[in-house]
Structure 1
Amino acid sequence: MEIRKIRSGEAGSIWRLLHDTVHRINDADYSQDELVVWAPDEYDAPHWVSRFIRTHPIVATEGRALLGFAELAEDGRIDLFYVHHAHQGQGVGRALMQRLKAEAGARGLKRLYCEASITAKPFFERMGFTFVEQKELARKGERVQVLLMESRV
């Protein structure tokens, strides 16, 4: 498995991974309406390309297969962190998190934090994150429950 920065032309594949994973994994904890707001079916290429140019996510690949990706903001916020639904439980998330923590340490950050889905809470706990509070995000008229979690670097 290789962990590296995103490359030109990968935005669509990353968006597809996010969309498919949300709709296949998070449906146990969220309604269909919440899933559609969270990961719409329409790919907005200009939005995602612009976002990824700004955030420079890291990706996990094996050969030509995209296994997962993650973003780390300057303040230690992990905004997007997804592992392909077919590759969960295989160490991809752990490898991505180890890279994020190493990058955070190199930047001198003391804390990582995220607004995790209910579904992802056990993973983040295994990675050393603790639950801070439950939050409700308003997106396109829908309310989505997330969990503020944090970890010391």
Structure 2
Amino acid sequence: MQLRPYRAQDAGALAGVFFDAVRIGAAPRYPVEVLRAWAPERPSAEAWEKRLADLWTVVAEADGTPCGFMSLREDGLLDLAFVAPGWRGRGVADALLAAVLAEARSRALPGLHTEASRMARPFFLRHGWTLDAAQEVERGGVRIENFRMSLRF
């Protein structure tokens, strides 16, 4: 597995990583109606390219295929953090987070913040993030629990 910067031609593959991470990877922690609201369908490459356009994104790749990615917004929001289900527990998220932290520090950001899923919350806690508040967001008429978290440098 290696890390590299996002390229526009990755959009379709990353849309698949997102969709599978939600629909398969998050299945043990959320009811099926939440998973369907969170990711009602696999995003198109075009839609995902637009979603990623204003973000700094790092991609984990194995054998030429993306297996995870994380995205950083200008204001320090770790906006997207997804690993393909078959790659969970293999250090992909750790490597991606290290790259995001290095980028944030190079930008002299005072810290990061995110809205973590139930799946991601333990990962961020292990990496020293603070749980600021539980909250609910609405997607497709369904309320989904997530957690505002932060990390100060």
TM-score (norm 1): 0.93
Structure 2 segments unaligned to the other structure (5+ residues):
none
Residue identity matched to 1:33: E
Task: Output one character per residue of 1:65-105: Cα deviation in whole Å (capped at 9) or x when no partner.
Answer: 21210100111101110111111111111110001111010
Aligned residue in 2 for 1:72: 72
Distance 1:3 1:42 in 2: 24
Residue identity matched to 2:152: R
Task: Output one character per residue of 1:94-126: Cα deviation in whole Å (capped at 9) or x when no partner.
Answer: 110001111010101111111000121111111
Contact residue 97 and residue 127 of structure 1 kept, 8 A? no
Task: Output one character per residue of 1:25-66: Cα deviation in whole Å (capped at 9) or x when no partner.
Answer: 211221211111111224333321112222241101122121
Distance 1:42 1:18, change over 3 A: closer
Distance 2:79 2:56 in 1: 12
Percent of residue pairs bearing the same amino acid type:
35
Aligned residue in 2 for 1:11: 11
Aligned residue in 2 for 1:148: 148
How many residues of Structure 1 are paired with residues of Structure 2 in the alignment? 153
Aligned residue in 2 for 1:101: 101
RMSD of equivalent CA atoms: 1.3
Residue identity matched to 2:24: R
Q: Using the TM superposition, give the Cα deviation of residue 144 of structure 1 relative to its aligned residue in structure 2, in angstroms.
A: 0.6
TM-score (norm 2): 0.93
Distance 1:138 1:129 in 2: 24
Distance 1:150 1:97 in 2: 13
User: Structure 1 stretches (4+) deviating beyond 6 angstroms?
Assistant: none
Aligned residue in 2 for 1:47: 47
